[in-house]
Structure 1
């Protein structure tokens, strides 16, 4: 049953995956309004199941303590990153998850290489780290606004296509290094249409409780829409690799974006297939001794092992 579930998830997310080596044009290849043939009611139920699945696999990931997972979430303003994180990760243990948001780099961060501040927030083994915006800002916002490169004080800076190809190569090598060391990289781009972004901006202006989420800078960046679409297309083409592929998630319908994101993350965890550690024979004997000692302490009239009494039948079989 678990194998069939993994197959269904893999089939569901396959249309979202950017094939390594392919040339992407966002407006041609991915529809931000797509709902995958689902109705919202079906999507809500699928998300509920996905959240439960993630909770189970995260627990196993933490117990095994061998692999870590890094999820990079990219989107334009109002793309739904915060809500996606909140809903998809609602069932997991917060001790095993860390969310990092990357704003304008500080003076200290600019004093290091451009990947330094991202490397500091990588997950430990057994953990999931989420980058709300990620190292891909270095080939997106920095590409759309190349004047930002001056602040990075790069020696021998060569601008143009050659520079960006070099940066794509460095990022690919860094992600390969991470995966070789047991840290899986999950990359999701929430693909929002220009009209849906406009609608969401207006909602933030119309509702007083959402005014705080709006910035005039968001509208200024909207003027660079075509530049960002080009930058995203080139980034997806150059950095979707076999070891760290990109998934382009339709984001005009928030519920569908959350279902897709949960499915991609679940697929990654199921592929890792973390297992609970097995206790060695000597340690198992110690556990049995401890169990007998605890059973002897049972008050009169109470079962020696309340849990076993609730979950086993009279002939010793596990209850369903």
Structure 2
């Protein structure tokens, strides 16, 4: 577990480069053992989730970011399959609505945060505001930000302020009991091509494909630069990024489950301890039940 976390956690942002990470690493895990291992990880995670829910003190926010076809949806489905749905909240963020544009860029994400005792999963997140908007700065104009009237107004200072807003947002959440882990599912361009072709060839997957995906693929280098900069600017000790290889879905799921389990262990959730008078009340209730005929 420690080797996996050390390999994929972005701890040194000064030296961080996506070139140092692999898209198909498996750390010598074997595919034929993956299903059983994943089941064990989920079982352990479910036990800790019950404690987290009962304690009702802290919450866990898991953020997923990736290029199209990296497997976010299936990763969420597989790694969270054994958890109690009462204690999970999943949000998939699409393009901002007209109402969203009437507020600051963090507004819709803030109101979707997990309640205390729960695990929140954000499929895409507030990071879209420094990823897709970095590649397409014209989208920023829809936000009606004072002083931003044209693309040329969006300078380096603007992006630095946006990264700072994200760091402050996440730091505030961490200080108030929300533990945050962020996953970038690192997919290769070749593997994305193969998955796009499968979506086209399989009628049951046609709905997942959009012609816009191909257009965005043309900006691959720009997106990789945007991801690298965003991760470098916002991976902190309290809210770290993990760059996970995504070419082999079975390993990506193991990596996610391992890190989630490790994080929950670090949170040390415990069942609430009843006051002495309530414990005595339980004993009295037990006696009454035992005396029933």
What's the TM-score once normalised by structure 2's chain length?
0.96
Superposed, which structure 2 residues align to 1:2-151 within 5 Å?
9-26=1-18, 28-151=19-142
* Mean CA deviation greater in 289-298 or 236-245: 289-298
Residue equivalent to 1:207: 202
1:244 is paired with a residue of what secondary structure? coil
Supply the distance in 2 between the matched residues of 1:29 and 1:239 (Cα, whole angstroms): 18
User: In the TM superposition, what whole-angstrom CA distance separates every residue of 1:147-178 from its partner, at most 9, and x where no partner exists?
Assistant: 00000011123412221111111100110000
Residue equivalent to 1:233: 228
Is the Cα–Cα contact under 8 Å of residues 24 and 234 in structure 1 kept in the other structure? no
Residue equivalent to 1:283: 278
RMSD between aligned residues: 1.0
1:282 is paired with a residue of what secondary structure? helix
Q: Which runs of 5+ in 2 are unaligned?
A: none
What's the TM-score once normalised by structure 1's chain length?
0.88
Change (3 A) 1:22 1:43: farther
> Does residue 218 of structure 1 match 2:213?
yes
Is the Cα–Cα contact under 8 Å of residues 20 and 241 in structure 1 kept in the other structure? no
1:248 is paired with a residue of what secondary structure? strand
2:11 is paired with a residue of what secondary structure? coil
Supply the distance in 2 between the matched residues of 1:21 and 1:79 (Cα, whole angstroms): 24
User: In the TM superposition, what whole-angstrom CA distance separates every residue of 1:218-272 from its partner, at most 9, and x where no partner exists?
Assistant: 1111011000010011111111001101000100000100001111111111000
Which consecutive segments of 4 or more residues in structure 1 shift more than 3 A? none
Supply the distance in 1 between the matched residues of 2:279 and 2:187 (Cα, whole angstroms): 53
Supply the distance in 2 between the matched residues of 1:263 and 1:256 (Cα, whole angstroms): 10
Shift of 1:20: 4.1
Superposed, which structure 2 residues align to 1:299-314 within 5 Å?
none
User: In the TM superposition, what whole-angstrom CA distance separates every residue of 1:60-116 from its partner, at most 9, and x where no partner exists?
Assistant: 000000001111100100010000000000111001101101111000000000000
Shift of 1:14: 1.2
Supply the distance in 1 between the matched residues of 2:223 and 2:235 (Cα, whole angstroms): 17
1:184 is paired with a residue of what secondary structure? strand
Supply the distance in 2 between the matched residues of 1:24 and 1:219 (Cα, whole angstroms): 28
- Name the larger-Rg structure: 1
Supply the distance in 1 between the matched residues of 2:205 and 2:216 (Cα, whole angstroms): 19
Name the count of aligned residue pairs: 289
Is the Cα–Cα contact under 8 Å of residues 71 and 129 in structure 1 kept in the other structure? yes
> Does residue 198 of structure 1 match 2:190?
no
Supply the distance in 1 between the matched residues of 2:25 and 2:13 (Cα, whole angstroms): 24
1:52 is paired with a residue of what secondary structure? helix
Residue equivalent to 1:155: 146
Is the Cα–Cα contact under 8 Å of residues 122 and 129 in structure 1 kept in the other structure? yes
Shift of 1:36: 1.0
Supply the distance in 2 between the matched residues of 1:36 and 1:190 (Cα, whole angstroms): 16
